[in-house]
Amino acid sequence: MPHLTTHEELRDRILTLAGIVESPTPFVSCYLNLQSGKASALKTMQRRANLLRRVLNGKDLDDFEESVGCIKTYINKYLLPETKGLAFFARSNFEKEFYMPLQFAVPLPDNLRIYPTPNIFNLIKLKDTYERYLVMVATKEWVRIIEVNLGATSVQAWSENPALRERVGQEWSETQYQLYHHNREESFLGDIIQILQELLDYGDHNHLIIAGDPEITACIRKVLPESLISKLMDTIPTSLRDSETDIIEATLSILVEQEEQESRSVVERLIHHIQTQGLAVIGAKDCLDRLQCGEVDTLIILQSYNPDPVWLCSSCNKTIETAPEFNICPNCNSTTVSAIDLREELVRQAGQKDCPVEVVEHSEALIELGGVGCLLRFRTDL
Ligand SMILES: [Zn+2]
């Protein structure tokens, strides 16, 4: 059944896609931004497909047409109204048929490519950008705790404030009410924080955002235990007029901003390790070698990283910088050499080992280092 992809599922799908070995039939990797609707996305795909048709012929063209047909059918039949981004990986081959659609509540950039293996860079970036987190929305009448998982929301807990709904003057004198109200209010907040703590622990969440009525959120902030303050990303004022969608949008921008800050600090760590001859390498070749040895703690890559193609021997896994004659590997003499997209190969290697990847939107320092580097867990002499 079509559904919105969660962060956990995305991790699994990346492992699957990164593990696919190339076969004679190339993969069609299709990414579509659906914020302007289905019709506009289909038009964008059509334009890009027309261009690809001009460089394909024979069986490759037939396979491509079949894949594009499948993607179109899927979009027309199974697209959910809340989907903002679609990724579709297709290989239409009689024996090695493979179709994987993924719908997301967050947008993806438009992209349609043909390559021997699935192009997963955009998925890797998504996984890096959108960590799961909890949002606590608090008004004077109720408190709601929502989990945001790759932009998709699910309410985890909901609680009405009984003290506030109590009527004054029937059974209670005003003083009694205030006393009652005060006590109930405190235990109400205490209960809510208890629930919040349990949800954070249970869901293994590292981030929390509090939104709502400024008076109430200030009260909550005051009684928040240290363990929760360390996870609190921000507190945002909202009013009853704000829709839940608007509130979630606002929290998503906070998350993206936080992720950019994290990127900058990871780049700083990389530079520090390079300066002190610590556990780090830079450059695609060294990064690929270390990834293959399983030594990498984090792969750090510029979003705009776009190096010249290199050649890779699939028998001995060595990269070759200039086109080898007759596609023969100078290292092991086998004929299993093919041109590769370095950016894809780097994230594919990382994806196979579930190694964290930090995609850096912009960094002059990282540009100067060539656009790619790795923090290492340990180092062996190669
Ligand atoms: Zn070789």
| Ligand 1 centroid from CA 236, angstroms | 56
| Ligand 1 centroid from CA 335, angstroms | 8
| Ligand 1 centroid from CA 55, angstroms | 29
Contact criterion met (CB below 8 Å) for 355 and 268: no
Domain boundaries, the chain: 1-129, 133-242, 260-382
Pairing verdict, β 280-282 and 232-237: unpaired
| Ligand 1 centroid from CA 89, angstroms | 29
| Ligand 1 centroid from CA 52, angstroms | 31
Name the CA radius of gyration of the chain, rounded.
26
| Ligand 1 centroid from CA 340, angstroms | 14
pLDDT at 183: 54
- What is the amino acid identity at position 21? V
Distance separating alpha carbons of residues 151 and 10, to the nearest angstrom: 13
User: How many residues appear in the chain?
Assistant: 382
| Ligand 1 centroid from CA 337, angstroms | 7
Position 139 pLDDT exceeds 90: no
Position 177 pLDDT exceeds 50: no
pLDDT at 354: 94
pLDDT tens per residue, range 227-257: 999 999 999 999 888 888 899 999 999 999 9
Contact criterion met (CB below 8 Å) for 27 and 119: yes
pLDDT tens per residue, range 71-80: 999 999 999 9
Judged by DSSP in three states, 201 sits in helix
| Ligand 1 centroid from CA 352, angstroms | 20
Q: Side-chain half-sphere of 306: how many Cα atoms within 13 Å?
A: 2
Lookup: tokens for 179: 């006393």
| Ligand 1 centroid from CA 316, angstroms | 4
Distance separating alpha carbons of residues 24 and 328, to the nearest angstrom: 18
Answer with the residue of higher pLDDT: 181 or 28.
Answer: 28
| Ligand 1 centroid from CA 168, angstroms | 83
Q: Which fold has domain 133-242?
A: Nucleotidyltransferase; domain 5 (3.30.420)
Position 196 pLDDT exceeds 70: yes
* pLDDT, the chain, mean: 89
CATH architecture of 260-382: 2-Layer Sandwich (3.30)
User: To the nearest whole percent, how much of the chain has pLDDT over 70?
Assistant: 92
Q: Per residue in 27-39, is it b (16+ CB within 10 Å) or e — as a string?
A: bbbbbbbbeeeee
Contact criterion met (CB below 8 Å) for 326 and 99: no
| Ligand 1 centroid from CA 320, angstroms | 9
Task: List the one residue out of 269, 277, 278 whose CA is nearest residue 365.
Answer: 269
| Ligand 1 centroid from CA 323, angstroms | 13
Residue with structure tokens 């008004």? Answer: 139
Enclosing H/E stretch for 143? strand 142-149
End-to-end CA distance of the chain: 47
| Ligand 1 centroid from CA 263, angstroms | 35
Lowest mean pLDDT among 19-23, 122-126, 191-195: 191-195
| Ligand 1 centroid from CA 311, angstroms | 10
Distance separating alpha carbons of residues 288 and 346, to the nearest angstrom: 6
Distance separating alpha carbons of residues 111 and 143, to the nearest angstrom: 41
| Ligand 1 centroid from CA 291, angstroms | 17
| Ligand 1 centroid from CA 357, angstroms | 27
| Ligand 1 centroid from CA 303, angstroms | 30
pLDDT tens per residue, range 12-35: 999 999 999 888 888 999 999 999
Distance separating alpha carbons of residues 166 and 176, to the nearest angstrom: 12
Domain at 1-129, CATH class: alpha beta
| Ligand 1 centroid from CA 312, angstroms | 8
| Ligand 1 centroid from CA 153, angstroms | 48
Other C-beta atoms closer than 10 Å to the C-beta of 104 total: 25
Read off the pLDDT of each residue in 346-356 and give the average, rounded to a whole number. 96
| Ligand 1 centroid from CA 334, angstroms | 6
Lookup: tokens for 149: 């998982």
Distance separating alpha carbons of residues 346 and 284, to the nearest angstrom: 8
pLDDT tens per residue, range 53-99: 999 999 999 999 999 999 999 999 999 999 999 999 999 987 889 99
pLDDT tens per residue, range 273-314: 999 989 999 999 899 999 999 999 999 999 999 888 888 888
pLDDT at 179: 41
Bridge partners (DSSP) listed for residue 296? 376
